[in-house]
C-alpha cells in the first residue's frame, strides 16, 4: 500500500478488512493491496465481487466460520520423523470440510454464479483424508479411542488403574484413624503422581512418599505407599498411550503427505475465498456497490459517502468530472466539506481500482486511473519540520513530477500558507500546468483570483460547498458549476459588527476582488433562481406526468369498454345467427317431414294392379 494513500485514510479501510479476515495470508495480502495494474484483472475481480455479494444476499453465500491457518503445518510435514499433532489435524480436517461444503454450494448455483464456480471447478476434494482424520480425531483435536485397537486397550487399562487409585484414596479419606490428618479431601498431582494434601503435624499418620510442601509449610503432599505401585503402572500406560498416539499421528501424517499438492491447492483457494469474503462482508455492512470502471479519465460520483463517517450523518456527494472539464476547483468555507470531498473522491477511486466495493449509488462510474496523487493537510510539514507552505511545495513537486493524463490529482488549499497574491499566482500556475497535461484534478482554494481564473478558463469546472448564511453553517452540499463567494463580511454583519466597520472593511478590498465577489454573488443568485425554476418545472413535469398517466389510464379504460361492447355485440349477433340457423333447420326438417308423410300417404292410397 502506497504511503501517499495515508492522507486519504485508506489504511483505516484496510484495517477494517484485516479485522474481517481469518487467515494470516489474507491479512498480509490486504497490507500489500494497491491499484490493480491490469484492467482485465480488475474487471474479473469486480465481476467476482458482484457475484459474491449477490450470492450472500440471495443464496446464503459461503460459510467460512472455523477457517484457520494451515501454512505452518503443511511446511513442517516434510521434515523427517515429524508428524502433525491431533490439534493440527483437526484444523486441517475443518479446512477440508469448509472447502468441500463451499464447493458443493457453488456447484448448486454454478449457472447463476459462473465466476465463483470457476474458482472451484478444477480443484479436487480430498474426502479420503477428511474421513480418515474424522475417524481418528474429534473436532476438539483429541484422538478417539477407536483410532486404533492398541489405543483403546491402553486407555481402558488407564481407566481401570485410575478407578483403583480413586478407590484407595476414598478408603484413606473415609478411614477414621487418618481423617484428621487430611488437609483437603481432594486428590491432586505432584511430579505427575497422584498425592493427597496432609497437615504437616499429622503426616506421620499416613505412610508414604512426600513430594511437595505448601509455601507456608502447613501442608505436605504425600503419595501413600499403597498408591505407589498403581502410580507406577499409570505412568507406564501413559507412556504406552503416548507411543500409540505417536504411531497413529505419524500414520495419518504420512497419508496427508501423499495428498500434499492437492491440499496446497485447496489452501490457496481458501485463502482466496477468505480475501473475497472479507470484502463481501465489508460491502454488505457498509451498503457498498461495485462501480462501473471505464477505460478513460473520468469520475462520476453519485450519492458517494465517506466510508469512515456514520452513514446516518454523512451528506452524500454528487459530481461528474472529465466530460469535458478535467479539473474541478472547489471553493467554500473552512470546515464546509471541501477536504472531505477530496478524500471521498480519492479514497473511493483507490478502493474501486483495488477491487474493493464502495459506498455509493450504482450509477457511479470510476475512470481507470493508474495512480492517485494527493496533497491534503500538513503531513509533509510535520514529517520534515518545514513551514506549511514549504511542506506543500515539496509535495506538489512530487505530484507534478509523477502526474500524467492517467493520474487523479487531489490538492487541498493550493497556494495557501504564504502571501495571498503570490499564493494565488502559484495556484493558477499549477492549475495551468495540470490543465495543459490533461491531468484529472480536484483542487480546493479560497482565493478570489483563482475563483475568477477558473470560471473563465476552458477545461476547469467551478464548484463550491454550500453555506447557509441564515444559520451561518455549512450544508456540506457540493454545488457544481458555481464558484463560492466570500462570506466573511456577511458573517460579521450577522454577528452584529457595526456597518461602519463593515463598510470600512469593504474599502480595503481591491476593486478586482470586489468585482469578482459581486460576479460570484450574481452567479449564485442566478443559480438559485435557476434552481427555483427547475424545481417549479419539475413540479409541473410531475403534475403533467400525473395527468398524462390519468389520461392514459382513462384511454385504456375506454378502449377496454369499447372492446367489451364490440365483443358483446359480436356475441349477441353470433347467438342470433345461430338461433335463426337453428330455427331454419327446424323448419326445413318439418317441411321435409310433412313431404315425406304425404308421399307415404299417396303410396298407401294407390290400388294394386293385378295381371289378367
pLDDT score recorded for residue 25: 94
Q: Does domain 147-236 match CATH 1.10.1420?
A: yes
Q: What is the pLDDT of residue 383?
A: 41
pTM more than 0.85: no
pLDDT class of 448 with cuts at 50, 70, 90: confident
Task: Centre a 10 Å sphere on the Cβ of residue 293 and count the other Cβ atoms it contains.
Answer: 18
Judged by average pLDDT, the poorest of 20-34, 305-319, 497-511, 572-586 is 497-511
pLDDT at 331: 86
pLDDT of residue 527: 66
Strand 219-224: give its sheet, edge to edge.
182-190, 193-199, 219-224, 208-213
pLDDT, greater one: 417 or 525: 417
pLDDT band at 521 (very low <50, low <70, confident <90, very high): low
What's domain 292-509's architecture? 3-Layer(aba) Sandwich (3.40)
pLDDT, averaged across the chain: 87
CATH architecture of 3-126+259-286: Orthogonal Bundle (1.10)
In the block, which residue shows the cell 481423617? 179
pLDDT number for residue 542? 86
pLDDT for res 384? 43
Q: Which of 11-15, 204-208, 253-257, 395-399 has the lowest mean pLDDT?
A: 204-208
Using DSSP bridges, classify how beta strands 371-375 and 365-367 pair: parallel, antiparallel or unpaired.
Answer: unpaired
Query: What is the rounded end-to-end Cα distance, in angstroms, of the chain?
Result: 138
Residues 6+ apart with CB under 8 A from 425: 415, 449
pLDDT recorded at residue 40: 95
pLDDT higher than threshold 60 for residue 612: no
Q: Which of 122-131, 206-215, 234-243, 332-341 shows the lowest mean pLDDT across its residues?
A: 332-341
Span 502-511, average pLDDT: 71
For every residue of 451-519, DSSP letters joined together read: HHHHHTSTTEEEEEEEEETTTTEEEEEEEET-PPPP-HHHHHHHTT--HHHHHHHHHHS-HHHHHHHHH
CA 287 → CA 53, 343, 520, distances in Å?
11, 19, 38
Instruction: Tell me the mean pLDDT in the region 327-341.
Output: 84
Please report which confidence band the pLDDT of residue 529 belongs to, taking 50, 70 and 90 as the band edges.
confident
For residue 530, pLDDT over 90 is answered with no
200 pLDDT more than 70: yes
Other beta carbons within 10 angstroms of residue 88's beta carbon come to 22
Question: Quick one: average pLDDT of 547-573?
Answer: 87
Question: Does the pLDDT at position 165 exceed 80?
Answer: yes
Output the pLDDT for position 311.
Answer: 86
Q: What is the pLDDT of residue 292?
A: 96
For residues 430, 435, 436, 437, the Cα torsion angle rounded to the nearest 10 degrees is 90
Q: What is the mean pLDDT of residues 133-162?
A: 94
State yes or no: pLDDT of 381 exceeds 50: no
Q: Compute the average pLDDT of residues 195-199.
A: 89
pLDDT tens per residue, range 315-324:
999 999 997 8
Task: Work out the number of other CB atoms within 10 angstroms of the CB of residue 301.
Answer: 26
Summarize pLDDT for 286-312 with one digit per residue, the tens: 999 999 999 999 999 999 999 999 988
Residue 475 vs residue 604, higher pLDDT: 475
Amino acid at each position: 500500500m502506497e504511503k501517499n494513500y495515508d492522507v486519504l485514510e485508506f489504511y483505516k479501510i484496510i484495517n477494517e478488512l484485516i479485522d474481517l479476515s481469518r487467515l494470516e495470508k489474507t491479512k498480509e495480502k490486504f497490507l500489500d493491496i494497491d491499484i490493480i495494474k491490469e484492467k482485465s484483472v480488475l474487471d474479473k475481480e469486480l465481476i467476482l465481487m458482484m457475484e459474491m455479494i449477490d450470492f450472500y444476499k440471495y443464496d446464503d453465500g459461503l460459510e467460512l466460520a472455523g477457517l484457520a491457518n494451515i501454512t505452518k503445518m503443511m511446511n513442517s510435514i516434510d521434515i523427517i520423523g515429524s508428524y502433525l499433532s491431533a490439534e493440527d489435524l483437526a484444523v486441517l480436517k475443518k479446512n477440508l470440510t469448509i472447502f468441500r461444503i463451499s464447493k458443493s454450494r457453488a456447484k448448486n448455483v454454478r449457472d447463476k454464479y459462473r465466476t465463483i464456480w470457476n474458482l472451484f471447478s478444477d480443484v479436487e476434494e480430498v474426502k479420503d483424508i477428511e474421513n480418515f482424520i474424522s475417524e481418528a480425531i474429534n473436532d476438539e483435536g483429541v484422538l478417539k479411542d477407536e483410532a486404533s485397537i492398541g489405543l483403546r486397550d491402553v486407555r481402558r487399562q488407564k481407566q481401570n488403574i485410575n478407578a483403583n487409585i480413586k478407590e484407595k484414596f476414598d478408603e484413606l479419606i473415609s478411614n477414621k484413624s487418618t481423617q484428621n490428618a487430611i488437609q483437603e479431601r481432594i486428590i491432586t498431582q505432584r511430579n505427575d503422581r497422584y498425592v493427597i494434601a496432609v497437615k504437616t503435624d499429622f503426616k506421620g499418620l499416613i505412610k508414604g512418599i512426600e513430594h511437595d510442601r505448601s509455601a507456608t509449610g502447613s501442608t505436605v503432599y504425600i503419595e501413600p505407599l499403597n498408591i505407589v505401585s498403581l502410580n507406577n503402572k499409570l505412568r507406564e500406560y501413559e507412556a504406552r498411550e503416548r507411543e500409540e498416539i505417536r504411531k497413529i499421528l505419524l500414520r495419518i501424517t504420512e497419508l496427508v503427505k501423499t495428498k500434499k499438492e492437492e491440499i496446497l491447492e485447496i489452501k490457496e483457494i481458501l485463502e482466496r475465498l477468505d480475501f473475497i469474503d472479507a470484502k463481501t462482508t465489508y460491502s454488505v455492512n457498509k451498503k457498498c456497490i461495485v462501480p462501473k470502471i471505464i477505460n478513460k479519465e473520468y469520475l462520476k460520483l453519485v450519492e458517494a459517502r465517506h466510508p469512515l463517517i456514520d452513514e446516518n450523518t454523512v451528506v452524500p456527494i454528487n459530481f461528474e468530472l472529465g466530460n469535458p472539464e478535467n479539473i474541478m476547483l472547489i471553493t467554500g468555507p473552512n470546515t464546509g466539506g471541501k477536504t472531505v470531498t477530496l478524500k471521498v473522491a480519492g479514497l473511493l477511486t483507490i478502493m474501486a481500482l483495488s477491487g474493493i466495493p464502495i459506498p455509493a449509488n450504482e450509477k457511479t462510474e470510476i475512470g481507470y486511473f493508474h495512480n492517485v496523487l494527493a496533497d491534503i493537510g500538513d503531513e509533509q510539514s510535520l514529517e520534515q519540520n518545514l513551514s506549511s507552505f514549504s511542506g506543500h511545495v515539496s509535495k506538489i513537486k512530487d505530484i507534478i513530477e509523477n502526474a500524467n493524463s492517467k493520474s487523479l490529482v487531489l490538492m487541498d488549499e493550493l497556494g495557501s500558507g504564504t502571501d495571498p497574491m503570490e499564493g494565488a499566482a502559484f495556484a493558477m500556475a499549477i492549475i495551468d500546468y495540470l490543465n495543459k497535461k490533461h491531468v484529472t484534478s480536484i483542487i480546493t482554494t479560497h482565493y478570489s483570483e483563482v475563483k475568477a481564473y477558473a470560471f473563465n478558463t476552458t477545461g476547469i469546472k467551478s464548484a463550491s460547498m454550500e453555506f447557509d448564511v441564515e444559520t451561518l453553517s455549512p450544508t456540506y452540499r457540493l454545488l457544481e458549476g458555481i464558484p463560492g463567494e466570500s462570506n466573511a463580511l456577511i458573517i460579521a454583519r450577522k454577528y452584529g459588527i457595526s456597518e461602519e466597520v463593515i463598510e470600512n472593511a469593504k474599502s480595503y478590498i481591491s476593486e478586482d476582488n470586489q468585482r469578482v465577489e459581486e460576479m460570484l454573488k450574481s452567479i449564485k443568485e442566478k443559480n438559485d433562481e435557476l434552481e427555483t425554476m427547475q424545481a417549479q418545472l419539475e413540479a409541473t413535469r410531475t403534475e403533467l406526468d400525473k395527468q398524462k398517466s390519468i389520461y392514459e389510464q382513462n384511454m385504456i379504460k375506454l378502449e377496454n369498454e369499447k372492446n367489451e361492447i364490440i365483443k358483446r355485440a359480436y356475441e349477441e349477433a353470433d347467438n342470433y345467427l345461430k338461433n335463426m340457423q337453428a330455427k331454419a333447420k327446424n323448419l326445413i326438417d318439418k317441411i321435409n317431414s310433412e313431404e315425406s308423410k304425404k308421399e307415404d300417404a299417396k303410396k298407401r292410397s294407390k290400388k294394386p294392379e293385378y295381371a289378367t
